[in-house]
């Protein structure tokens, strides 16, 4: 689908090298206008480096990237005017109030005074921070700091927003508020590229690019990615004694992988409907109390592990 | 109060006040030897204050806690000698070699000289870093630093271990390997306390306590929390266009909360079975095309949000 040149991001065989390491290794993907796109991967996958290149603050070594129709290597300053970039270490002034921080960033971005007040009021209301206008930024909780950071980054109405792990370390309630803001921005026609190491957060994006060691593993909607776990089914055994359950089933036929997770044992099996009765028998014979046993939806984590372990082929 | 089995943690009506602010308001719990116990809660809820008391770093205002058989108020130094602590920002020295970090921590934890070498070997084996002992710590990839930090935290073989978001940002394979290690230690009787915001880590815990506003508002296995502590039931709704769908759902009667999730909505209602057809009809009457409405299991995050926000009845959860 051809991307509208004004709002999309196009990355083509992008490369960035540092001494001894290829941080971004021939990365290729597109972000469609109005989409929330996730760059997903563990620390060291190349997410921050990619975002820096797209924000025009770090030149690529090879390949091309266009943001809002502009080439990041040829016109980085042009790119910076079209976008908002919120890096991980975001610069809030701890001894200024919420309101003063917003005013500072509005001035920095050259936002006209009247627009700025109206916009700030809307953003603060959307993030539930209106009553904290006069609170010193240094006194805000982690989650609120992130929301303020986002508010400051958005004060000049960019068309494209680049966020680097904006919710790392933030509690789930603040995270939901944060995502509510992102979804409302999409409704206004903004395009968002966000990076995350939280696989459960990746599920909230419209499409994701899974990255590992600088490379793209795969790129699609979360649902379609998970559908790539083929013959393998994921079975969960909920039990009061997960270790005994593990001992009872780890050698069973058809079990491809197993891990303990809290109050359950999660198994990758070759054929769920066929193996579940067999597993149940094994558990009964071993006297293991089973609360539930059944197939469960695979998560992006199951997919990631299966891909890195070679049980699912990578490829966009 | 139980008999204070050496490997367990027993907390009874623990309270901490700072001036007239009550940070921890009467928390009680007991952990079994070898249990992996998770502490969840928003920042400012009293989680870190509770952990600090359990680590013997802060004196309680009232109540009691016994960690590894020692009273945190009366013998905090004995408590500290019997626990290990690994934080997310671990205190490894990046320019030291692996083995140098281990020797440093052995010294810091006063591991007896006679057993230091053996313990270091044990830690290296456990972390699978035996053949990388001379590597510079900064050069270890993420998952390996975690394992080294864990090794450093347990050189004195503590019966209780505190982990603070230990695998956030670590790739899923290394994370699983790390948790296999933790399970192994738990199997040998070490009690492990985990604090995290990372729901994927919370799922690794045998039991979880949810701390909110200084109180424990839920306690149970992940499954128990999802089944018994979720206020309401969860519906998955795939509909287009999504924006108007969300607005419509939020204004629908008997909807407790709604959030967009990728290309769909997660909607909290009292009775999923009753609401399924009603919501579909409600949306369709407002020109929203509905492709799916199904009850789904709440995730830990759904439970967390439902317990820590007061649904104000307008379909929007708001932190209270």
How far, CA to CA in Å, does B231 sit from each of A135, B39, B217, B247, B253? Answer: 32, 20, 12, 21, 16
The listed range with the strongest mean pLDDT (A5-19, A97-111, B19-33) is B19-33
Of B36, B203, B262, the CB nearest to A222: B262
Q: What average pLDDT does the structure give for chain B?
A: 87
Q: Residue A26 pLDDT more than 90?
A: yes
Distance CA(A204)–CA(B264), nearest Å, equals 9
| Chain B residues whose beta carbon lies within 8 Å of the beta carbon of residue A304 | 171-173
- Round to the nearest angstrom and report the end-to-end CA distance of chain A: 15
Structure confidence by residue, pLDDT tens digits, B225-272: 988 878 788 999 998 888 788 889 988 989 988 888 877 899 999 899
**Which candidate from B42, B183, B304 shows the least CB-CB separation from A260?**
B183
Partners of residue B308 in chain A, C-beta under 8 Å: 173
CA A245 to chain centre: 33
Is the Cβ pair B168, A261 closer than 8 Å?
no
- Predicted pLDDT at B314: 34
Q: Is the pLDDT of residue B3 over 50?
A: no
d(CA B282, CA B298): 23
Q: Which residues of A touch B309 (CB under 8 A)?
A: 173
Q: How far is A65 from chain B (nearest CA, A)?
A: 25
Alpha-carbon distance B115 to nearest alpha carbon in chain A (angstroms): 31
Could you read off the pLDDT of B72-128 as tens digits, one per residue?
999 999 999 999 998 866 678 999 999 999 999 999 888 999 999 999 999 999 899
DSSP string, B130-169: GGGTTSBGGGS-HHHHHHHHHHHHTTT--SEEEEESTTTT
Å from A107 to nearest chain B CA?
31
- A198 and B198 within 8 Å at the Cβ level: the answer is yes
CB–CB of B260 and A183 under 8 A?
yes
Q: Packing angle between helix B172-187 and helix B142-153, nearest 10 degrees?
A: 20
| Nearest Cα to Cα of residue A14 among A64, A57, A58, A52 | A64
Which token pair is A261? 């997770």
Structure tokens at A10: 């196009």
CA distance A274 to chain B (A): 24
Residues of chain A with pLDDT > 70, as a percent, come to 96
Instruction: Given the cut 0.85, state whether the ipTM is greater than it.
Output: no
Distances (CA, A) of B132 to A45, A273, B147: 22, 44, 12
Would the pTM of this model clear 0.80, i.e. be above it? yes
Question: Do residues B127 and B148 make contact, with C-beta atoms less than 8 angstroms apart?
Answer: yes
Chain A positions in Cβ-Cβ contact with residue B141 (cut-off 8 Å): 44
Please tell me the predicted confidence (pLDDT) of residue B229: 79
What is the rounded distance in angstroms from the CA atom of residue B160 to the CA atom of residue B2? 17
- For A198-222, write each residue's pLDDT tens digit: 888 898 899 999 999 999 999 999 9
State whether residue B112 is helix, strand or coil: coil
The pLDDT confidence band at residue A4, using thresholds 50, 70 and 90, is very low
**Cα(B136)–Cα(B118) distance, rounded to whole angstroms?**
21
């Amino acid at each position: 689908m051809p991307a509208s040149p004004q709002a999309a991001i196009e990355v083509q065989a992008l490369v960035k090298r540092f001494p001894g390491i290829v941080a971004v290794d021939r990365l290729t993907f597109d972000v469609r206008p109005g989409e929330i796109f996730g760059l997903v991967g563990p620390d060291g996958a190349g997410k921050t480096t990619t975002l820096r290149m797209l924000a025009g603050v770090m030149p690529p070594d090879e390949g091309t990237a266009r943001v809002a129709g502009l080439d990041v290597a040829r016109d980085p300053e042009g790119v910076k005017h079209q976008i908002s970039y919120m890096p991980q270490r975001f610069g809030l002034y701890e001894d200024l109030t919420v309101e003063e921080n917003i005013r500072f960033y509005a001035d920095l971005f050259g936002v006209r005074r009247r627009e700025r007040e109206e916009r700030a009021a809307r953003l603060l209301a959307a993030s539930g921070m209106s009553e904290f206008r006069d609170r010193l930024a240094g006194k805000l909780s982690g989650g609120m700091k992130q929301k303020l950071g986002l508010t400051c980054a958005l004060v000049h109405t960019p068309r494209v927003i680049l966020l680097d792990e904006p919710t790392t370390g933030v509690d789930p309630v603040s995270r939901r508020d944060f995502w509510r803001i992102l979804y409302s921005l999409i409704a206004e026609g903004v395009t968002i590229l966000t990076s995350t190491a939280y696989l459960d957060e990746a599920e909230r994006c419209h499409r994701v690019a899974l990255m590992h060691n600088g490379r793209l593993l795969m790129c699609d909607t979360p649902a379609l990615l998970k559908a790539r776990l083929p013959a393998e089914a994921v079975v969960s055994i909920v039990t009061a004694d997960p270790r005994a359950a593990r001992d009872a089933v780890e050698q069973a036929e058809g079990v491809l992988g197993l891990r303990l997770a809290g109050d359950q044992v999660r198994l990758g099996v070759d054929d769920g409907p066929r193996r579940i009765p067999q597993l149940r028998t094994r558990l009964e014979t071993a006297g293991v109390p089973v609360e539930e046993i059944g197939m469960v939806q695979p998560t992006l984590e199951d997919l990631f592990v299966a891909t890195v372990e070679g049980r699912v082929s990578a490829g966009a | 109060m139980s008999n204070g089995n050496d490997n367990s943690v027993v907390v009874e009506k623990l309270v901490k006040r700072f001036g007239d602010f009550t940070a921890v308001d009467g928390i009680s719990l007991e952990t079994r030897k070898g249990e992996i116990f998770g502490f969840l809660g928003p920042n400012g809820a009293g989680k870190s204050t509770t952990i600090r008391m359990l680590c013997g770093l802060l004196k309680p205002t009232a109540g009691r806690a016994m960690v590894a058989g020692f009273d945190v108020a009366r013998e905090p130094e004995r408590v500290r000698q019997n626990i290990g602590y690994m934080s997310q920002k671990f205190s490894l020295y990046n320019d030291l070699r692996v083995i140098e970090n281990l020797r440093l921590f052995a010294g810091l934890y006063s591991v007896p000289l006679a057993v230091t070498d053996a313990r270091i070997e044990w830690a290296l084996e456990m972390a699978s870093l035996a053949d990388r002992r001379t590597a510079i710590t900064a050069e270890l990839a993420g998952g390996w630093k975690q394992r080294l930090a864990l090794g450093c935290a347990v050189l004195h073989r503590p019966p209780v271990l505190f982990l603070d978001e230990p695998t956030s940002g670590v790739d899923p394979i290394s994370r699983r390997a790390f948790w296999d290690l933790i399970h192994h230690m738990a199997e040998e009787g070490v009690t492990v306390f985990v604090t995290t915001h990372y729901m994927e880590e919370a799922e690794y815990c045998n039991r979880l306590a949810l701390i909110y506003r200084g109180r424990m508002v839920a306690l149970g296995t992940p499954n128990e929390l999802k089944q018994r502590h979720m206020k309401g039931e969860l519906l998955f709704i795939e509909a287009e266009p999504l924006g108007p769908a969300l607005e419509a759902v939020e204004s629908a009667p008997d909807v407790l909360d709604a959030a967009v999730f990728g290309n769909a909505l997660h909607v909290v209602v009292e009775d999923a079975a009753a609401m399924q057809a009603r919501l579909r009809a409600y949306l369709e009457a407002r020109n929203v095309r509905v492709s799916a409405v199904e009850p789904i299991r709440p995730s830990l995050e759904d439970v967390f949000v439902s317990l820590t926000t007061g649904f104000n009845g307008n379909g929007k959860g708001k932190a209270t």
